[in-house]
């Protein structure tokens, strides 16, 4: 370990941060309009940036994904020396991502089949079956479940991961991170210039090459953690990290709601990623105690199911019964798919719910 930080339960930290990320995304899509209306009515519109940026939980998801995927390679428990290692990685990754993805796709297609023409249904089915929507500008935000765009990006990075690891082994992870940061920033600027719409995913800025720096940043943190290169003073990065996140939120709010140039979204993405990286480093350094709270950990462990179902549930329930009915239905559906689709092969159900 050298002069690095002491070992902590890194999985608990990651689960807790994922819990915060999914709560932010859920609030963005379930509670944002009434929250902003209430603040504006109370003359507290200055607080709008605090409630209007739950979507940045996706940034944190991507960083944590890179961290978790690379952790066993950084620790030397797995290797990526050739095609056999890549094939094993793809097999594990497929079993983690695709069963729930395809299960949800079938459910959504069945529900959408009553409203679509045969031609539109066939095109949608092909988009979902092949994940080609992640490569199509006009279908990037899938109409029947637009948060799928980020799952498409996650799948694309999973496909690229063995190559990234091999390149990092050859030229160094630091150089890969520098190239990813520079290239992603350039593409985000290009994407915001190409499509200046303030809300929703941007096909260029938010696709794999516009977001790859977040995954590689997570990989770099995993490498530093396992090599003992996160210094002891990293535990003091929590407050600076939170400050950077709040600064980025203020900038995003100005871009999305107050007319600031959308080009500013590109470097602001770097600001919030740095903030999240500081928070993760501080949490790994022993400042993540609250992240080990069981409810927050369970939310993080269930984040994939919660994420993939929340918009379809909201769309189905909100017009008729409001959010009060959406939340119990979302929780029940997510619990079922988490237990029986994501981890149906796990015998010890207690481990799936942080039951000690």
Does residue 1 belong to any structural domain of this protein? no
Give me the pLDDT at residue 73, please.
97
Give me the pLDDT at residue 9, please.
58
d(CA 351, CA 35): 35
Give the per-residue SS3 of 97-131: HHHHHHHHHHHHHHHHCCCCCHHHHHHHHHHHHHC
Comparing C-alpha atoms, which of 246, 279, 322, 256 is closest to residue 30? 322
Q: Do residues 309 and 332 touch, judged by C-beta distance below 8 A?
A: no
Does residue 354 belong to any structural domain of this protein? no
Does residue 334 belong to any structural domain of this protein? yes
Give me the pLDDT at residue 6, please.
38
Domain holding 195, by residue range, is 10-344
User: What 3-state class would DSSP assign to 216?
Assistant: helix
Mean pLDDT per 10-residue run, the chain (356 residues)? 44 92 92 81 87 96 97 95 95 97 94 84 92 91 89 97 97 98 98 91 96 98 93 92 98 95 97 97 81 90 96 78 77 95 88 77
Does residue 226 belong to any structural domain of this protein? yes
Give me the pLDDT at residue 318, please.
67
Does residue 186 belong to any structural domain of this protein? yes
Does residue 16 belong to any structural domain of this protein? yes
Can you give the length of the chain in residues?
A: 356
Give me the pLDDT at residue 321, please.
58
Domain count, the chain: 1
d(CA 279, CA 274): 9
Q: In the chain, which residue ranges form alpha helices assigned H by DSSP?
A: 10-30, 32-41, 48-51, 57-74, 83-112, 118-130, 148-171, 173-194, 208-226, 238-257, 265-282, 294-301, 303-321, 323-337
Does residue 67 belong to any structural domain of this protein? yes
User: What 3-state class would DSSP assign to 29?
Assistant: helix
Does residue 4 belong to any structural domain of this protein? no
Q: Do residues 242 and 279 touch, judged by C-beta distance below 8 A?
A: yes
């Amino acid at each position: 370990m050298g002069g690095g930080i002491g070992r902590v339960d890194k999985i608990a930290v990651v689960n807790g941060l994922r819990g915060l990320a999914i709560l932010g995304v859920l609030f963005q899509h379930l509670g944002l309009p009434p929250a902003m209306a209430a603040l504006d009515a109370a003359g507290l519109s200055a607080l709008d940036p605090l409630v209007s940026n739950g979507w940045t939980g996706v940034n944190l998801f991507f960083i944590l994904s890179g961290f978790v995927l690379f952790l066993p390679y950084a620790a030397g428990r797995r290797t990526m020396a050739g095609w056999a290692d890549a094939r094993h990685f793809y097999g594990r990754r497929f079993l983690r991502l695709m069963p729930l993805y395809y299960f949800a796709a079938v459910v959504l297609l069945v529900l959408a089949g009553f409203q679509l023409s045969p031609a539109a249904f066939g095109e949608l089915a092909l988009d979902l079956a092949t994940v080609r929507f992640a490569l199509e500008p006009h279908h990037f935000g899938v109409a029947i479940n637009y948060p799928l765009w980020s799952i498409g990006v996650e799948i694309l990075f999973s496909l690229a991961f063995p190559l990234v690891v091999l390149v990092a082994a050859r030229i160094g992870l630091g150089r890969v991170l520098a190239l990813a940061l520079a290239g992603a920033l350039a593409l985000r600027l290009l994407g915001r210039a190409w499509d200046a719409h303030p809300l929703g995913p941007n096909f260029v800025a938010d696709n794999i090459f516009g977001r790859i720096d977040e995954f590689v940043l997570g990989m770099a943190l995993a490498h530093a953690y396992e090599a003992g290169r996160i210094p002891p003073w990293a535990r003091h990065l929590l407050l600076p990290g939170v400050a950077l996140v709040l600064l980025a939120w203020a900038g995003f709010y100005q871009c999305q709601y107050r007319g600031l140039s959308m080009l500013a979204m590109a470097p602001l993405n770097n600001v919030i990623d740095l903030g999240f990286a500081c928070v993760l480093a501080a949490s790994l350094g022993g400042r993540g105690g609250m992240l080990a709270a069981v409810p927050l950990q369970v939310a993080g462990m269930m984040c994939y199911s919660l994420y993939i179902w929340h918009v379809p549930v909201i769309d189905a329930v909100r017009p008729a019964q409001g959010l009060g009915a959406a939340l119990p239905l979302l929780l029940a559906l997510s619990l079922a798919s988490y237990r029986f689709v994501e981890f149906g092969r796990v015998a010890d159900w207690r481990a799936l719910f942080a039951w000690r």
